[in-house]
Amino acid sequence: MRIRIGSRDSQLAIKQTQIVMEGIQKAHPELELELITMKTTGDKILDRRLDQIGGKGLFVKELDQALLDGRIDLSVHSLKDLPMEIEQSIPLVGFTEREDPRDCLLYKQCYHEKTLLFCDFDSYTIGSSSRRRIVQMQKLYPNARFESIRGNVQTRLRKLEEQAFDATALAVAGLKRLGMTQRIDRIFSVEEVIPAAGQGIIAIQGRRGFDYSFLDCVCDWDSKLAAMAERAFTKEVNGGCSAPIAAYAYRKGNQFWIRGMYYSDLFQEFETGEERIQLSDERENQLYEVERVGRKLASRLRESIEGQKK
């Protein structure tokens, strides 16, 4: 049986797809796997912020259409890059074990040669197009300027060296998968910079009616719980592509935590907080429980800002 697997054609996207393919092939050597790469609209337009050109859906539009047309059988994505609303005919069918979910900072390489400390600069420019990262890093670096920088990992690192940036912020997970952790200069704790919903999780999208039981070998239940909770939080606060919304959930034993950030564009301020619940033993109940606690936290944080302003 041949399985056609779609991916964006960036180096990181292909690496993530290969991780999934290797897991499937190891458990199911009888399957014939074919990698099909595509350049998406979001990869082509790099001179504007995503919210100015149509949002995260631009990273999946071509792959979604290929699924609908039957040209591919599944697609592989960074979960954090997927829009919150997924078409029912092409559902999410798997979530891999989560890689490091944290964000990190990378300095221009010449600063290392001069043995300069980034925190000693009176004024510096950090390249980031993520409002989520910016509003949180502004508390850590109150004197910094933030300028837009877009592109894949390699493109951003090239822009860091060639343009007027002192540093750039990236996800640790992507750098780990690319074997580039030596470039990391500072890793932010999840308390300092709460990650994007789904950060570090690889999501697999399929087509309704197709048998995806062969994916069990690469799927992780705890990642699914975290993904469902974080996406429920984001949906509850209407967090789209440009909204600076953050959510990070994890399980420890039967305890489940979610930490989130809600930013009010109206009042220009944000609030963070967390919730914890005890999970029941039944998996189907767990899915309901984590989505409910995600929505509960979102409502509480939103009310803490907007309720007191009424």
What span, in angstroms and rounded, lies between the C-alpha atoms of 221 and 195?
A: 20
Q: Cβ(230)–Cβ(198) under 8 Å?
A: yes
Q: Cβ(248)–Cβ(101) under 8 Å?
A: yes
State the catalytic residue, choosing from 43, 73, 81, 103.
81
Smallest CA-to-CA distance from 8 within 166, 174, 253, 242 is with 174
For residue 305, CA distances in Å to 42, 298, 299 come to 33, 11, 10
Q: Following CA atoms 56, 105, 153, 178 in sequence, which dihedral angle do they give, to the nearest 10 degrees?
A: -110
The two beta strands, 2-8 and 74-78, are parallel
Return the axis-axis angle of helices 221-236 and 283-309, rounded to nearest 10°.
30
Q: Cβ(257)–Cβ(273) under 8 Å?
A: no
Q: Is 122 a catalytic residue?
A: no
Q: Cβ(248)–Cβ(258) under 8 Å?
A: yes
Residue 302 structure tokens = 């939103």
Residues with a catalytic annotation lie at: 81
